[in-house]
Amino acid sequence: MGIQNLTWQVTKKAFTGSIIGLTISDRFCSLVPVRGDSMSPTFNPQRDSYLDDYVLVDKFCLKDYKFARGDVVVFSSPTHYRDRYIKRIVGMPGEWISSTEDVIRVPEGHCWVEGDNKASSLDSRTFGPIPLGLIRGRVTRVVWPPQRLSKIGG
């Protein structure tokens, strides 16, 4: 009877903790690994390192789409919804952006994003302006590795 009761108690606590963790991750903030070197040197500055940076993503900004030029954001790919990218906003709705081929006006409800390492980045230069609705959050801090702990942006 004692082991069955202990198992039930552990299961309840694990389930409750999972629900709370999912709610926090979905509504407030989450930790996201930064893969590749498209945002180097801001993230993953040492290309030969086996440690990826992990960043804290704030989701409070999603309520009113409160973004500004210079913010680093996580967004879903416009072509493959499950793929996530981390890029910097370089153009807001109504602004003019000079791309490699032409000058483009960012449409309302969209933004223009580019990686800090333009030579190795899949961004708006490839798939055009992204809808603000695809943004999943704003990167606020590097939290891993510990020696790179720092605030991002203003």
Which of 13, 25, 30, 38 is an active site residue?
A: 38
Is residue 67 a contact partner of residue 138, using CB atoms and an 8 Å limit? yes
Which of 12, 25, 77, 87 is an active site residue?
A: 87
Question: What is 51-86 written as a DSSP string?
Answer: PPPEEEEE-GGGTTT---TT-EEEEE-SSSTT-EEE
Annotation marks residue 150 as catalytic: no
Say how far apart CA 53 and CA 72 lie, in whole Å.
14
Tokens of 78: 């416009």
Question: Coil, helix or strand for 130?
Answer: strand
Residues in the chain: 154
Listed residue (82, 26, 59) closest to 135, CA to CA? 59
Tokens of 55: 């960043």
Annotation marks residue 151 as catalytic: no
Integer distance in angstroms from the first to the last C-alpha of the chain? Answer: 56
Residues with catalytic function: 38, 87
